[in-house]
Structure 1
Amino acid sequence: MKLVSWNVQWGRDAGGRVDLDRTLKAARRLADFDVICMQEITRGFGVLPGGPGPDQFAEIAQALPGYTVLDAIGADLPSLDGSPSRRQFGNAIATRLPVSLVLRHSLPWPADASAPSMQRVALEAVVETSSGPLRILVTHLEFYSLQQRLAQVDELRRLQLEAADHAAHPAAAENATGPFAPTSRPVSAVVCGDFNSRFDSEAYRRFIAPLAGAPGFIDAWTTLHPGQTPPLTAGVYDTKQWSDGPITCDFVFVTEDLRARLRSCEIDGATQASDHQPIVLELD
């Protein structure tokens, strides 16, 4: 299974030009992916720099025929012109694997008057692989507020414990046609995205700390490149937005039980199709 994780900045490249279709083509050149997890996808947010289209989730579906496209909205705001349309900003998963369950998790947003912030979300899809079901989660944590980032890390860890509890104590469906579906969720998971947390920061270390009662998370890149520091992932080419210099803040984590299935995890440092660099994961 090949997975790409990328903060695509609504298809805006390092020079400021928006073309989401071009971004997706760049991703396809990196890997013939089974799953792509994207952050900063918009609907009704044409006022953003570069002028993204009215529905980028629909653009993804059009560009990737044969893929199921899932959305999760974090910021959901009224239009600026008084129309009933909304300005929406969130994450997307596109996959050609069968999807058995989709969950959308609003992440904690504790008050922090010292920093601007937005509602954040994690999108979870249970996909069916040749080795069994696997949870894929994509997220994008708060940028300005450490307090909020840490609360969001804690929630992602709690969701792993919840999934383990569902795996151990599954409930059957009420019937074959109603909304009460089976509650079983696999323990094995990939959690990826823009964590807005520097490598080896407090939030990073907290996320990979051991969990009592469930397999914890390991960094796929550092696991496969022991003793090395991961390459920079944000602000490598867009030095205007990242005037303080580039950082490493995009990661792909997997649960400990997937360690033996890690084949490769690489950060592409060449593309300038976003202000972030994509990560390509391959699992046996």
Structure 2
Amino acid sequence: MRIVSWNIHWGCGKDGRIRIHAIIDVLRKLNPDVICLQEVAANHPELEGSASASQFKQLGGAFGGYHMIDHAPSEIYRNNLPRQFGNILLSKYRITQAQRHMLPWPADPEHGAGMPRGLIETVLETPGGKLRVLTTHLEYYSPLQRRAQVRRIRELHREACARARIYQPEPDLEPPFQLGFRPGTAIFCGDFNFAPASDDYRELVAPHEPGALQLVDAWHARHGDMARAPTTGLHGFPWPDKPECYDYFFVTDDLAPRIAEVNVQSETAVSDHQPIVLDLN
């Protein structure tokens, strides 16, 4: 099983031009089973390169053999047209449940700028069994908002683990209540906008109370103390000012023995972030 996570910077490369076809080409070469993308745009001509097309439709159409879940937490209407900015999850595997979570966005007097953030949660039927795959893009400017979002992710994970322990199918209920099993086993990925040495990182992987599966950094589970490959700051983009890691895979500890590889595809320059790839046995 291969999962790719990538902040695509609305397809805008170093030259300021939008080339969604180049994003698609990289993804097709990687041949993932699940694709998780952040910074997908629609009807945003003011963004660099003019992201006026619906990239949600372009990407969904390019991967017609996949099932797509999209979520645009930022949806602003101009002239009755939605200007959308958000995330996509595409899966070759059957999706049995999907939830779109809005993450906290508390008022922060020190950082007025910002945008709503969200988390896509899916339950997939994979060859190794059912598991949850979740993707997100956390706040960059406001530490207060980002910390609230980290805590909400932990809360949602505890909730899922608790429900998994008590869930029993009830086929006599009306159809909207007939949800399938939602396992505790999970993969979280995306652009978390924190560095590995940050307090936010430490809080996300801090021990849970008994009963909740522990989240572990897939890079460390596979590579130990080996220096982490940067996911931003390559190829001469103006941001950030040095190579850094903001993009991650976190997995529940029951999946750690199945990690075959975690790597960063550093060659491509079609986004200011690099794709990260997780392979599970």
TM-score norm. by structure 1 comes to: 0.94
SS at match of 1:126: strand
CA contact (8 A) 1:69 1:92 kept: yes
Structure 1 unpaired stretches of 5+: none
Please name the residue that 1:7 is paired with: 7
User: Aligned partners of 2:271, 2:170: CA distance in 1, in Å?
Assistant: 43
What are the within-5 Å matches in structure 2 for residues 25-36 of structure 1? 25-29=25-29, 31-36=30-35
Question: C-alpha displacement at 1:173, in angstroms?
Answer: 4.9
What are the within-5 Å matches in structure 2 for residues 140-155 of structure 1? 140-155=137-152
Question: C-alpha displacement at 1:166, in angstroms?
Answer: 1.4
Question: C-alpha displacement at 1:174, in angstroms?
Answer: 6.0
CA contact (8 A) 1:106 1:120 kept: yes
Question: C-alpha displacement at 1:21, in angstroms?
Answer: 2.0
Over the residues paired in the alignment, what is the CA RMSD in angstroms? 1.5
User: Aligned partners of 1:120, 1:276: CA distance in 2, in Å?
Assistant: 18
User: Aligned partners of 1:238, 1:254: CA distance in 2, in Å?
Assistant: 31
TM-score norm. by structure 2 comes to: 0.95
Instruction: Classify 1:98/1:177 alpha carbon distance in 2 versus 1 (closer, same or farther; 3 Å).
Output: farther
2:219 is matched with which residue: 207, 218, 221? 221
SS at match of 2:39: strand
User: Aligned partners of 1:17, 1:148: CA distance in 2, in Å?
Assistant: 31
1:106 is matched with which residue: 102, 109, 114? 102
> Identity across aligned pairs (percent)?
38
User: Aligned partners of 2:62, 2:157: CA distance in 1, in Å?
Assistant: 32
What are the within-5 Å matches in structure 2 for residues 29-108 of structure 1? 29=29, 31-79=30-78, 83-108=79-104
User: Aligned partners of 2:137, 2:95: CA distance in 1, in Å?
Assistant: 22
Partner amino acid, structure 1, of 2:243: P
CA contact (8 A) 2:69 2:88 kept: yes
Question: C-alpha displacement at 1:46, in angstroms?
Answer: 2.5
Partner amino acid, structure 1, of 2:188: V
User: Aligned partners of 2:70, 2:179: CA distance in 1, in Å?
Assistant: 22
Partner amino acid, structure 1, of 2:10: W
Instruction: Classify 1:106/1:238 alpha carbon distance in 2 versus 1 (closer, same or farther; 3 Å).
Output: farther
Please name the residue that 2:16 is paired with: 16
User: Aligned partners of 2:173, 2:68: CA distance in 1, in Å?
Assistant: 24
CA contact (8 A) 1:101 1:125 kept: yes
What are the within-5 Å matches in structure 2 for residues 133-212 of structure 1? 133-173=130-170, 178-182=175-179, 184-212=181-209
